[in-house]
Amino acid sequence: MATNFPASLDTLTNPTSSDSLSSPSHSAQHANVNDAVEALQAKVGVDSSAVTTSLDYKVAQLETFGAWQTYSPSCSWSGQGSFDFVKYAQVNKTVYLMFYFTLTGTPSVTFEFDQPFVEVTGESPAGTSGTAMLSDATGNNYIGFIYMTGTQVRITTETSGGVDATAPFTWASGDSIRGLMIYEAA
């Protein structure tokens, strides 16, 4: 008998001490158990399995489930500053993203950077996904609203459109942007 596992459980006959080697068949017993063990091994998987249906692979995925990951997005202000950190965590389709960007020069374009995962279209209420703190080197702070356009993360404020070289203040070396956002990945 070939094994039914993992589609269903096998029913194996346990021989007793009074059974002969032919009832149940000794070789068939070994073959049935061997088939079942091989099916179990395939289902469990080897260490560091790349087989996506194996339990080893699935457990490894769960161990990183929701863990903060770093990534290096393309940023429109590259060359005028850098990210001190950009991290995200994904739990199912929910993406949490936090970042901190410090200027070392003077930008000339709107601040935006790549998101780690594309957002489900139209899911963010009123287009916003989070908040940001915009800080100038003299200690003034402004609240920003994070939103996404296509695959880009952008920031706006109540008093300005997008954050650019002069909005909401004239940006210079030492100024920073930090933010936290939550969105649903496609």
Q: CATH no. for residue 142?
A: 2.60.90
Same domain assignment for residues 144 and 165 = yes
For helices 26-44 and 55-63, the axis angle rounded to 10 degrees is: 20
Q: How many other β-carbons are positioned within 10 Å of the β-carbon of residue 76? A: 17
pTM: 0.66
Residues 144-184 pLDDT 10s = 999 887 788 999 888 777 898 899 999 999 999 999 999 88
Pair (168, 104) in one structural domain: yes
Using the 3D structure, point to which of 63, 92, 114 is the last residue of a domain: 63
- Residues 82 and 113: beta-carbon distance below 8 Å: no
- Report residue 125's pLDDT band, with 50, 70 and 90 as the boundaries: very low
Query: Is residue 16 located within the same domain as residue 107?
Result: no
- Return mean pLDDT, the chain: 86
pLDDT of residue 128: 66
Q: Which domain holds residue 49?
A: 1-63
Residue pair 112/154 in contact (Cβ under 8 Å)? The answer is yes
Shared domain for 125 and 167, answered yes or no, is: yes
Say yes or no: 86 and 27 in one domain. Answer: no
Q: What is the pLDDT of residues 68-92, one digit of tens each?
A: 999 999 999 988 999 999 999 988 8
50 plus 108 within the same structural domain: no
Q: Are residues 83 and 171 in the same domain?
A: yes
Distance from C-alpha of 12 to C-alpha of 23, rounded to nearest angstrom: 13
Reply yes or no: is the peptide bond before residue 116 cis, omega within 30 of 0. no
Does residue 49 share a domain with residue 3?
yes
The per-residue pLDDT for range 6-43, each reduced to its tens digit, is 888 888 888 888 888 787 788 888 888 888 888 889 88
Distance of CA 144 to the CA centre of its chain: 25
- Percent of the chain at pLDDT > 70 equals 95
Q: Which of 13, 42, 63 is the endpoint of a domain? A: 63
pLDDT at position 63: 78
pLDDT for residue 24: 76
φ, ψ of residue 42 to 5 degrees: the values are -65, -40
Q: Are residues 40 and 98 in the same domain?
A: no
Same domain, 53 and 117: no
- For the chain, the distance separating the N- and C-terminal CA atoms, rounded to the nearest angstrom, is 45
pLDDT of residue 98: 96
Type and span of the H or E element at 179: strand 176-184
Nearest to 10 by CA among 33, 44, 43: 33
Residues 45 and 98 in one domain: no
**133 in Cβ contact with 141 (< 8 Å):** yes
For residue 127, pLDDT beyond 70: no
Query: What is the mean predicted confidence (pLDDT) over 51-77?
Result: 87
Domain edge (last residue) among 14, 31, 63: 63
